[in-house]
Amino acid sequence: MDISWDDARLFLAIAETGSFSGAARQLRIGQPTVSRRLAALEYAVGAALFRRGVDGAVLTVAGERLVMPAKKMAEWAGELHRAAESSDTSPRGLVRVTASPYMSFDFLAPFAGAVSRKFEGLRLEVLSGIQYLDLGRGEADLALRAKAPTNADLKRVYSLDVRNAVFVAKSLKARLPKRPTLQQLPWVAWAPPFDMTPPNPQLESIIPGFSPVFTADNYLVLLAAAEAGVGAMVLADLRHRFVRERRLVPLDIDLGPYATLPLHLVCAKSALDIPRVRKVSELLVEELEQAKKR
């Protein structure tokens, strides 16, 4: 019996999202199509792969046996795709870069404007999110992330330490003590399901009884609240040439062990064989190098 890559990708999407609706969104197909194709796969395998319930789709014993081979198949599909594209002769086409919401908004979006002006054939797609995308599978071409890669198939292209700072609106700063402590600040922070996303855990570790006055599950909502004077916000102070005019001002306050944050440019090793990915990687390194000197 042969299992096609399309069937394996469908199975993996359900297993990793835990639902048919999640798989449908990830694959950009209808939920009835997901159900129909899974039924055909289960008939071919001769066993149920998921138990359907109110909590979503849970792997059966037969399904669990397929997860690791399906993941390996996804990684090889990514390698195959990159090998085919390495035959391109010029840096043209789409490059997908993933990063945190802050880096996507503050740095990558204006960086994309500079790239489009300099290289007419290059297009950037910025994938902003909390969860890390799988570069080995080809879910993105390049990533800016805080954790260095541990997978042997991934390459750390460039690294630097970025300063962190506490920012507030001028209206809030005027109401604060002259030299406030971390405990005296009202905070805006991530809401569930992102409440374990930095800087929440770091602030919890250095502020006894940490309790933000405002939470949200969207970065731009957090930023808007901070700009409205609701509370303080920890932001990376990466001084690149695209820095937008902020409606926030930094406070002279010590973040202790979290005063700096590592930032790594990462990609699958074989991705650098693709001219357009290599070119965007080089341009990112140039910008980060300049920011490091500021």
- We report the CATH number of the domain holding residue 284 as 3.40.190.10
Between 243 and 181, residue with greater pLDDT: 181
User: How many domains would you assign to the chain?
Assistant: 3
The verdict on 241 and 273 lying in the same domain is no
Q: Indicate whether 128 pLDDT > 80.
A: yes
Per residue in 234-265, pLDDT (tens digit) is 998 888 888 888 889 999 999 999 999 899 99
- We report the CATH number of the domain holding residue 17 as 1.10.10.10
pLDDT at residue number 54: 76
45, 65, 85 - which closes a domain: 85
pLDDT at residue number 267: 92
The verdict on 176 and 113 lying in the same domain is no
Instruction: Compute CA 185 distance to the chain's CA centroid, rounded to the nearest angstrom.
Output: 28
The verdict on 172 and 138 lying in the same domain is no
Range of the domain at 211: 161-260
pLDDT at residue number 83: 64
